[in-house]
Structure 1
Amino acid sequence: MSTVTVEHPSIGAVKGVDGDGVYQFFGVQYATLQDRLAEAQVKSRYESPVDATSHGPSSFSPPNGYHNEMLFIQQSMPKPSTVHLDLDCLNLNITVPKGQHGVDLAKQKLPVFVWIHGGGFVVGANSWPHYDHARIVKLAHDNGVPVIGVEISYRLGFPGMLTSEELRQKGYKPNSGLRDQQAALRWVRQHIAGFGGDPDKVTVIGESAGAVATTLHLYSKEPLFHRAIATGGSCLLVPVITPADQEGTYQQVLSILDLENLDVDQRIQKLLTLPMDEIIAKLPPSVAFLPTVDGDVVPVEPTFAGVADQSDQSMPGKQWVDALMIGNSEFDASVLGFMLGHLKPGIGNKFPASIRSSLATTPDIAETLLEAYGFGDSGLDDETAFIRFLEFVNDVSFLGATTCFARGWPASSSSSSSKIFTFFFNEPNPWPGAYQGRATHVLDVVFLFQNHNHNLPPAQRAAAEAFGLDLMRFVAGQQPWPGYTREKRTAKVFGPSKGEKVTARVVEDAEALETGRGKSILQIAEKVGFDRLNETVGRFRMGL
């Protein structure tokens, strides 16, 4: 391993890795924690030299997280050797292209993107190899779009999202994982110039739960970044929990950890000191750790109607962010195929019954919906019916969110002044697995970061480069394709590429069939609203 040492004006000497066309600085601590539930404090002082030649510790998470991620992708990479710590887990990786100034990085002033990984707020790490930024940063530089990439870690699961009235009374704020991300963004604003970045040109990119977080940060009154990209998710993807409902989760945790009979101070002390690996082993996947409506980081519960309403004032980011790019994959709901298998037995009968119950006041719409998704047939086998259910969820949770964000973003009269860009990722997964041939969840990440290119067919390898470069052009402040406007709902469609032919095109209507999405859900939503359709998904998942 070749190394490089740079002199950062506020941090001091930082030793990193001298790679192929890039310098990489791993595991740079961006914040400190007094205890595992405390609010992150942005780090400002460092002991020089800082050794940034290897990945830093990650937040504790279930041990099968990486394996499951590889199952979603349907193509494996070697599992990284990761250290898990509860206090020293807040760090970031920085990837800088080699430029004309050599190691005098501060002379550069390049656009920056900050990557927020997915994983349901429970798993994930900035050390996972398919997230590595070396290839996309080098590709962008080689094509005249020099940018800097930053990968952040944040607290997951119980340390990241647990809250309760008694914790709040003791000074522990909700949404620690989201607050970690905001601390990382403040660190970037303060220190990225010393690595050659422009603190006034920072784009956040999030996928899945990372896209949930990215769009939740748009509710901040504080301008945290310049641009944003959300792919494979948004704040409309998962429920944001009320404090009252979080009490139920808290009581679950206390019961599972056998802490119910202790007094408040003893309970909290145990939550702070019990070995994290013991806690992880005891907490089942059914315990959900999700963001909380706290009146601060998450001031309101996002709704499809609110996001789609241009007059709604609850999301300040609509005004302070320069531009938003949002997109979805043709079968993002594939991820739920691994999570909701318990719903499969008898779903051909149970799902129609649930829809008719949920939409009982509009029976004609219920029947239209069932017919549109192929549930008009009797005797559907479980596998076929389950796929059709997932396609309905995909259209509500992913297509619906993209549509509502595009409709509700500040209107522009021309593409040259547009603040919203939409895309549809339709590249088929080329690898054997449950969903080969579909544009699966996380495949957009594979194409973006170029780390599986050697396993892709030639056309898709070229398509991955084109997709990655388009997103990097957006990071650089460019318009990679015409934006969505009042007059023309323009979008970019990526794929499907086959054989030697790369397929990517701009379509003039993001709500037309040319995107590779059906129109039925949009027509149905015009009558009952996406929020009500989203409720039908939730009711069915609860067995109603």
Structure 2
Amino acid sequence: MATIQHPLLGRTEGNKKNGLVEFLGIQYATLAHQFAPPVPVDRKDSDESIDATSYGPSVGGVDGCDSEFGLIQHKLPRTHFAKSATQGLNLNITLPNVDVSSKSLPVLAFLHGGGFSAGSSSWPQNQLTNLVSVSSELGLPVVGVSINYRVGPAGFLTSQELRDAGFTPNNGLRDQRVALQWIKAHIKGFGGDSENITLVGHSAGGVSASLHLASEEPLFKRVACLSGQFLAVKPLPDPVHEHFYAESVRILGLDNLSPSERVSRIQGLNADEVAKISAFPSRPIVDGRMCLEIPSVKAVAGGIPTTLHRGWCQDLFIGDCQFDGSIMAGALDHRKSGIGKAFGEHLEKEVKDIPGLAGKIISAYTINSENSDDDSLHGILRLLNDVFFYIPTVYLARSWKDGAAYVYRFNSPNPWEGRWQGEASHITDLTMLLHNFDEFLTEEQKEAGRDYTRDLLTFVSGKKPWQAFDEQEEFEMEYGTLSGGRRKLIWDIVEEIEPDRLTFVLEQFIARG
């Protein structure tokens, strides 16, 4: 056991493990009910010690851990993950085994992914223990902090009816912001530097991290968006949220209740009832506080507006996997039969005012109806990869003027048997960055992950990981040797059609269900 006397929290008990110290499940906010705004924990008058020896519960969402293992194509040992409607806003702190009173280490705050619908910092693939251990081995020691936040309906279900009743929207983002404020106020007592925090988000966590750039209050010094940023997964407009709410009400059988009765029932939904309405996409909404506008390439390309970035974050670390588009397969697999023909017809209809463009796209990504359904779907996913993951990172890097932008491309293949073996599929980068799968990798694969880790930790430490991306040379670091992703022809395509319009056309096709 490891015990510290924290100046704000009092006696805090954690674990010593493999040369590290962990403080797990520390509650940073409380909830009056599962849809309430987070209230920061205040322990200044408490004499009770904190038991931080085990992971705390998560709030909401589906238990998607095994589903994510399916995407990774490899499992780790797991236990039962506890959930709580009101006690799940907690975080975990991992640090080298040092005297915290004499240290001021860089802080890596981590936001997990999961599509805003699932995810937890206690899932074994998201744990920071091995990353912090490697940071010490590399001579770049950091304090790692992983954050639990609300996902699924508790995090993002909203409607005018709920807002009129005082239910705040974007609760998942609100949780994250309160957690970042907690870290700034408390991390010094754990040996971290409160003025040297890097927010690292993966997938939906990367989308979240980029949305926090709009905060009027500075929350971190640097940001790393890994396989996700606010152009990849955008906030949904009000009518879509209203539709999801209406469908949720129907599924729960609350149609005939008065608005006040319905709101009261929703406030007290049990876990089984929440699970019934968890199939709808969870996404942020423009609310004038946590999210100020729906991001667009046009807005970013003109110089990132203050509604998206206030300018207090210095440096940007951003990139994608060679085939992040694999994450979108689930939305299209059920339509695979004849998908090449269907996609071609959709393009011809939507861009008929631009002669030859549909044919150009179909040819570039080999989506024509003469190919097999598998090949056509694969081509569509590559197009989605380039439009939603690849070109947005370039636009964001080009527009980043407040400090240095560092762009990478993760091209190391998924080594495990399954659909995506040999591809740098979505989440493959995380398995190598956090080193939780190292025992299942070859030495060559481990070394690729170590290079990636070293560069990110160099960035977190406030040093230059490689040549910055700038107007003179748009340098991109590459990890691995895969080719075939991020086709350069996409730039010829977006010269003929505005990227935002192309994005909308593709979103329409996906949404056809």
**Structures share fold, TM-score greater than 0.5:** yes
Is the partner of 2:381 in helix, strand or coil? helix
Alpha-carbon distance in structure 1 between the residues aligned to 2:235 and 2:448: 35
CA shift, 1:515, in A, is 9.8
Is the partner of 1:333 in helix, strand or coil? helix
Cross-structure match for 1:503: none
Alpha-carbon distance in structure 2 between the residues aligned to 1:401 and 1:458: 33
Cross-structure match for 1:463: 448
Q: 1:401 aligns with which of 368, 377, 392?
A: 392
Cross-structure match for 2:292: 299
Q: 1:429 aligns with which of 411, 414, 424?
A: 414
Cross-structure match for 2:31: 33
Are 1:333 and 1:441, in contact at CA under 8 Å, matched by a contact in 2? yes
Cross-structure match for 1:75: 74
Identity across the alignment (%): 36
Alpha-carbon distance in structure 2 between the residues aligned to 1:311 and 1:261: 46
The 5 A counterparts of 1:220-231 are 220-231=215-226
Are 1:60 and 1:277, in contact at CA under 8 Å, matched by a contact in 2? no
CA shift, 1:314, in A, is 2.7
1:387 is the counterpart of 2:360 = no
1:353 is the counterpart of 2:345 = yes
Are 1:493 and 1:515, in contact at CA under 8 Å, matched by a contact in 2? no
Deviations 1:370-395 (A, max 9, x none): 1111135x521111111011001001
Is the partner of 1:423 in helix, strand or coil? strand
Q: 1:473 aligns with which of 436, 450, 458?
A: 458
Is the partner of 1:324 in helix, strand or coil? strand
Are 1:306 and 1:312, in contact at CA under 8 Å, matched by a contact in 2? yes
Alpha-carbon distance in structure 1 between the residues aligned to 2:282 and 2:329: 20
Q: Specify the code of the residue in structure 2 equivalent to 1:152.
A: I
CA shift, 1:518, in A, is 1.6
Are 1:326 and 1:422, in contact at CA under 8 Å, matched by a contact in 2? yes
Q: Which runs of 4+ in 1 moved over 6 A?
A: none
Contiguous gaps of at least 5 residues in structure 1:
412-417, 498-513
Are 2:152 and 2:278, in contact at CA under 8 Å, matched by a contact in 1? no
CA shift, 1:109, in A, is 0.7
CA shift, 1:490, in A, is 1.2
The 5 A counterparts of 1:435-514 are 435-496=420-481
1:325 is the counterpart of 2:317 = yes
Alpha-carbon distance in structure 2 between the residues aligned to 1:496 and 1:167: 50
Q: Over aligned residues, Cα RMSD in angstroms?
A: 1.6
1:250 is the counterpart of 2:245 = yes
Are 1:343 and 1:541, in contact at CA under 8 Å, matched by a contact in 2? no
Deviations 1:325-353 (A, max 9, x none): 11000001111223421121111211111
Q: Specify the code of the residue in structure 2 equivalent to 1:402.
A: T
Are 1:8 and 1:106, in contact at CA under 8 Å, matched by a contact in 2? no
Q: 1:540 aligns with which of 490, 509, 513?
A: 509
The 5 A counterparts of 1:6-25 are 6-25=4-23
Compare 291-300 and 366-375 and name the one that shifted more: 366-375
The 5 A counterparts of 1:83-232 are 83-99=82-98, 101=99, 105-232=100-227
Alpha-carbon distance in structure 2 between the residues aligned to 1:77 and 1:423: 27
Is the partner of 2:384 in helix, strand or coil? helix
Cross-structure match for 1:511: none
Q: Specify the code of the residue in structure 1 equivalent to 2:364.
A: A
CA shift, 1:311, in A, is 6.1
Is the partner of 2:224 in helix, strand or coil? strand
Q: 2:491 aligns with which of 522, 525, 537?
A: 522
Deviations 1:140-159 (A, max 9, x none): 11221111000000111111
